[in-house]
Amino acid sequence: VGDTIIARENAKLYTSDSKYLGRVINGQLFTLTGIADDGSLSVRDINTGNEMVVPASYASKSMHLGYATTIHRAQGATVDVTHAVVDTSVDRAGLYVAMTRGRRENRAYAVCEPTVDLSAEDAHMHSAGDHDAPTAAEVLAAILRRDTHQASATATLREEMTGATDPARIEALYRHGVDLAAQAFTSSTLP
């Protein structure tokens, strides 16, 4: 009793004799206020303060402790304190969400474990393909470099137009053309 719990599935709730109890929405947070002998839970909605009973059949399958959540589910939420565990799979937009949910405090804990190259043969038998563990600063730098948002058509056009006049790109294309021409010439002239 007193724990924060979260509904993980939208549902209209009924008693075993078909009496309507109410409705829960995926992601809705409650405070547990009681547990009945039949396993049903008495809960209070954290946002509205409304109280309801959740049948044991729903609670056992679709309610979990609500202290932790994903970055995506946290969007739009505001809490007192945020603790975010982040690794290099998080992008900068995700880090922004994680670091702006807390009213009083926001903390990020960077996962600093070495990554294992799963494609390396027998990776579990030797360390070939393994990488050194990143530092917390390296993890955060990788997150800040990672931008996975979809670029607008205008931004994409601007980037392509800039690339069309970039001297380094023009040189690379020229060298590639020279290589192709040299390969074509040598393969057609030499036996």
Evaluate if residue 17 carries a pLDDT over 90. no
pLDDT of residue 72: 81
Give the mean model confidence (pLDDT) for residues 161-187. Answer: 91
Tokens of 131: 């990488």
As a whole-number percent, the residues of the chain with pLDDT over 90 amount to: 64
Contact 92, 71 (CB under 8 A): no
* Residues whose CB falls within 8 Å of the CB of residue 99, separated by 6 or more in sequence, listed in order: 82, 84, 106, 108
Measured between alpha carbons, how far is 46 from 64 in angstroms, rounded to an integer? 15
* Residues whose CB falls within 8 Å of the CB of residue 77, separated by 6 or more in sequence, listed in order: 69, 101
pLDDT of residue 109: 96
Between 109 and 163, the higher pLDDT residue: 109
pLDDT of residue 49: 95
The predicted-structure confidence for 101-142, as pLDDT tens digits, reads as follows 999 999 999 999 887 666 665 555 555 556 788 999 999 999
Report domain extents, the chain.
Answer: 4-65, 78-145, 153-189
Evaluate if residue 181 carries a pLDDT over 60. yes
Give the mean model confidence (pLDDT) for residues 6-33. Answer: 92
DSSP states along the chain? ---EEEE-S-EEEE-TT--EEEEE-TT-EEEEEEE-TTS-EEEEETTT--EEEE-HHHHHHHEEE-S---HHHHTT--EEEEEEEE-TTS-HHHHHHHTTSEEEEEEEEE---PPP-TTSTTTTTS-TT--PPPPHHHHHHHHHH---SPPPHHHHHHHHHHHHT-HHHHHHHHHHHHHHHHHHHHHHH--
Tokens of 142: 């990788």
pLDDT of residue 125: 54
Evaluate if residue 151 carries a pLDDT over 70. yes
The predicted-structure confidence for 47-92, as pLDDT tens digits, reads as follows 999 999 999 999 999 999 988 888 887 777 788 999 999 999 999 9
Tokens of 163: 């690339």
pTM: 0.56
The CATH T-level fold of domain 4-65 is SH3 type barrels. (2.30.30)
